[in-house]
């Protein structure tokens, strides 16, 4: 049997995975439906920039791309909260400057991953090749060229579906028996807007922060780009009284921004064009099982588990999938069915956990971050982390700055939420926290990690 592996989708996960597989000596054929973004001026897809954190960084280090990518990344040390009256409040993400998340351009990252992939003589990327389905009995993949409209069939030792949240491979898995599938849309959509750079490429907002304008049922965020601009994303209901559907005219748009985000509005000269030109994206959670069919095919990244972006973990989780699949190939290859089975066993429960945490974090970001009780709890978290190292670790830290399984982070996070709730009953200030009670609660409920 040939050592050819077919990957469907040369997005973030597919491009990275091809490098892992090439390093193991496999011949990798990647089929990507879009043209080559390094040669054609196409948008790189959803969201212009992304937050890269520890799990994604670990994978980049494993394939030797970390240094290259960090050249185009901007560290974000915390959240900068913008109130309606223009006041700002900085909330650090971690306990020091090494605990940062990194803003990186999706397009640049994808292009560099493709460059690195193609440096391996055994990786070939075929562009304009849309997968239209798969025959799971024979392992044959059906492809159609988007330019010539010609169809052909490809077959390899196995197939990996890295074709994103609307995966064509997954669609065909729906047709076979005992395949569980759920998708749920958030009632909110998103639209990208811009704060351009100032004169000489100056950043017009604090550079090393993720900016948030939380407004209870909706929010605006902004991440920095290396050219001094910020990509802003408005998360807003799709329908209803306050919604994208209702916000139709220039005067409505300006009145809305003037009332809700006046400091941002002052920095957005292209707001009208951006708002009326850019599409509204939808926000989806996809869960499915099993992720594989025998030794024929497996799903990875958004194809297996799309999640809403509010923990900044979709790509990081997809990159961590690559790390785990690589580990399973090391342990069980070339018995592909066992590789896929073990990989799903390790990842599925964790993908479910981070998908749920991501939805939960939406409510935290848009609603709670400016709440005094939330701010007090964050302060207590940092103090407890300092006093009980390795035992009390904030949930955000476990998810973003460590590689502990997401399900563990979720479960310990729930226990810690209980402890924080107990400690904040009837108090308003940090100096009122009963540290003896804190120690008792921690000893009773948490074990060292
Ligand atoms: C607004 C927004 C903000 C986000 N922010 C973050 C963040 O800060 N941090 C983070 O970690 N994640 C973030 N994410 C999530 C992240 O974008 C995804 O999790 C990540 O892109 C998944 O990578 P992937 O390779 O699995 O899928 P994709 O990046 O979607 O790649 C899939 C590839 O497959 C190709 N393809 C699709 N169908 C076919 C087909 N039929 N045939 C051939 N090719 C096909 C596509 O063209 C694409 O190139 C965000 C997402 C959104 C929407």
Supply the pLDDT for residue 111.
94
| 275 within some domain | yes
Whether residues 236 and 120 share a domain: the answer is no
Strand, helix or coil for residue 217: coil
Q: Where are the alpha helices (DSSP H) in 333-367?
A: 336-363
Q: What is the mean pLDDT of residues 229-246?
A: 96
Q: Which of 225, 314, 361 for mutating ligand 1's site (highest number of atoms within 8 Å of CB)? A: 314
Atom of ligand 1 nearest to the CA of 192: 1
16 CA to centre of ligand 1 in angstroms: 12
Q: What is the mean pLDDT of residues 313-329?
A: 98
Of all residues in the chain, what percent carry a pLDDT higher than 70?
Answer: 98
Ligand 1, atom 31, lies closest to the CA of 11
Whether residues 28 and 149 share a domain: the answer is yes
Find the distance separating the first CA and the last CA of the chain, reported in whole Å: 44
Atom of ligand 1 nearest to the CA of 313: 11
pLDDT band at 423 (very low <50, low <70, confident <90, very high): very high
Ligand 1 first shell, C-beta below 6 A: 8-14, 31-34, 45-47, 50-51, 130-131, 162-164, 168, 190, 233, 281, 301-303, 309, 312-316, 318
Whether residues 255 and 111 share a domain: the answer is no
Answer whether residue 207 shows pLDDT above 50. Answer: yes
Supply the pLDDT for residue 46.
52
Largest CA-CA distance found in the chain, in angstroms, rounded: 72
pLDDT band at 425 (very low <50, low <70, confident <90, very high): very high
Supply the pLDDT for residue 44.
42
> pTM for the complete prediction?
0.96
What are the tens digits of pLDDT across the range 254-307?
Answer: 999 999 999 999 999 999 999 999 999 999 999 999 999 999 999 999 999 999
Q: What is the mean pLDDT of residues 208-212?
A: 98
How far apart (Å, rounded) are the C-alpha atoms in residues 99 and 76? 9
313 CA to centre of ligand 1 in angstroms: 11
Question: Which stretch of 71-80, 94-103, 123-132, 348-357 has the lowest confidence by average pLDDT?
Answer: 94-103
Whether residues 130 and 240 share a domain: the answer is no
Q: Which of 35, 42, 46 for mutating ligand 1's site (highest number of atoms within 8 Å of CB)? A: 46
Of all residues in the chain, what percent carry a pLDDT higher than 90?
Answer: 92
What are the tens digits of pLDDT across the range 135-159?
Answer: 999 999 999 999 999 999 999 999 9
Measured CA angle at 106 (ends 103, 111), to 5 deg: 125
Q: What is the mean pLDDT of residues 233-256?
A: 97
46 CA to centre of ligand 1 in angstroms: 7
19 CA to centre of ligand 1 in angstroms: 18
Supply the pLDDT for residue 271.
97
| 138 within some domain | yes
Return the sign of the alpha-carbon dihedral for residues 364, 50, 36, 134.
Answer: negative
The residue from 299, 328, 360 where one domain ends is: 360
317 CA to centre of ligand 1 in angstroms: 11
Q: What is the mean pLDDT of residues 407-434?
A: 96
79 CA to centre of ligand 1 in angstroms: 24
Bridge partners, residue 190, by sequence: 235, 281
Whether residues 204 and 175 share a domain: the answer is no
The residue from 282, 311, 341 where one domain ends is: 282
pLDDT band at 343 (very low <50, low <70, confident <90, very high): very high
165 CA to centre of ligand 1 in angstroms: 7
Average pLDDT, the chain: 95
Supply the pLDDT for residue 45.
43
Ligand 1, atom 37, lies closest to the CA of 163
Answer whether residue 47 shows pLDDT above 80. Answer: no
Whether residues 170 and 310 share a domain: the answer is yes
Answer whether residue 92 shows pLDDT above 60. Answer: yes
How far apart (Å, rounded) are the C-alpha atoms in residues 288 and 247? 35
421 CA to centre of ligand 1 in angstroms: 36
Give the strand pairing for 49-52 and 101-105. Answer: antiparallel
**Using N-to-C axis directions, what is the helix angle for 406-423 and 372-387, rounded to 10°?**
110
Name which of 77, 99, 110 is nearest 399 in CA terms: 99
User: How many domains does the chain contain in total?
Assistant: 3
How far apart (Å, rounded) are the C-alpha atoms in residues 385 and 383? 5
| Alpha-carbon separation of residue 414 from 94, 134, 229, 409, 418 (angstroms) | 19, 41, 37, 9, 6
Structural domain boundaries, residue 341: 4-72+105-182+284-360
Atom of ligand 1 nearest to the CA of 233: 1
Whether residues 131 and 273 share a domain: the answer is no
Asked if residues 242 and 218 have their Cβ atoms less than 8 Å apart, the reply is yes
| 295 within some domain | yes
Q: What is the mean pLDDT of residues 113-122?
A: 95
Q: What is the mean pLDDT of residues 347-372?
A: 91
Ligand 1, atom 48, lies closest to the CA of 11
109 CA to centre of ligand 1 in angstroms: 12
Whether residues 58 and 143 share a domain: the answer is yes
């Amino acid at each position: 049997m040939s050592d050819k592996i077919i990957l469907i989708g040369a997005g973030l996960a597919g491009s990275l995975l091809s490098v892992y597989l090439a390093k193991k000596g496999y011949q990798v054929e990647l089929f990507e439906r879009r043209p080559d973004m390094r040669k054609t001026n196409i948008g790189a897809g959803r969201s212009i920039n992304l937050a890269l954190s520890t799990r994604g960084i670990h994978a980049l280090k494993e394939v030797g791309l970390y240094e290259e990518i960090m050249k185009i990344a901007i560290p974000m040390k915390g959240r900068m909260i913008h109130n309606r009256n223009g006041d700002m409040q900085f909330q650090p993400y971690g306990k020091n400057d090494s605990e940062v998340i990194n803003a990186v351009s999706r397009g640049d990252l994808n292009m560099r991953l493709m460059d690195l992939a193609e440096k391996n003589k055994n990786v070939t990327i075929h562009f304009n090749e849309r997968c239209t389905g798969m025959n799971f009995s024979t392992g044959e993949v059906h492809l159609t060229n988007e330019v010539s409209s010609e169809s052909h069939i490809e077959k390899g030792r196995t197939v990996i579906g890295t074709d994103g949240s609307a995966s064509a491979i997954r669609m065909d898995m729906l047709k076979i028996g005992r395949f569980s599938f759920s998708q749920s849309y958030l009632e909110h959509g998103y639209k990208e807007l811009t704060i351009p750079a100032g004169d000489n490429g100056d950043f017009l907002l604090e550079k090393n922060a993720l900016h948030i304008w939380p407004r209870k049922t909706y929010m605006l965020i902004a991440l920095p780009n290396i050219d001094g601009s910020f990509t802003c994303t408005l998360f807003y209901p799709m329908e209803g009284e306050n919604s994208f559907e209702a916000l139709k005219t220039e005067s409505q748009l300006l009145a809305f921004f003037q009332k809700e985000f006046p400091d941002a509005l002052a920095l957005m000269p292209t707001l009208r064009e951006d708002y009326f030109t850019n599409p509204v994206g939808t926000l989806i959670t996809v869960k499915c099982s099993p992720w594989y069919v025998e030794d024929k095919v497996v799903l990875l990244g958004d194809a297996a588990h799309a999640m809403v972006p509010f923990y900044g973990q979709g790509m990081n989780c997809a990159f961590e999938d690559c790390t785990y699949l690589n580990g399973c190939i090391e342990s069980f290859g070339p018995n592909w069915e066992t590789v896929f089975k073990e990989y799903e066993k390790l990842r599925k429960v964790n993908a479910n956990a981070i998908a749920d945490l991501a939805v939960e974090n939406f409510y935290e970001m848009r609603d709670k971050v400016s709440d005094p009780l939330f701010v007090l709890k964050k302060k207590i978290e940092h103090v407890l982390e300092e006093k009980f190292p390795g035992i009390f670790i904030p949930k955000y830290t476990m998810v973003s700055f460590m590689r502990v399984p997401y399900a563990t982070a979720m479960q310990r996070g729930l226990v810690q939420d209980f402890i924080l709730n107990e400690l904040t009953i009837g108090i308003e200030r940090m100096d009122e926290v009963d540290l003896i009670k804190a120690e008792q609660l921690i000893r009773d409920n948490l074990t060292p990690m």
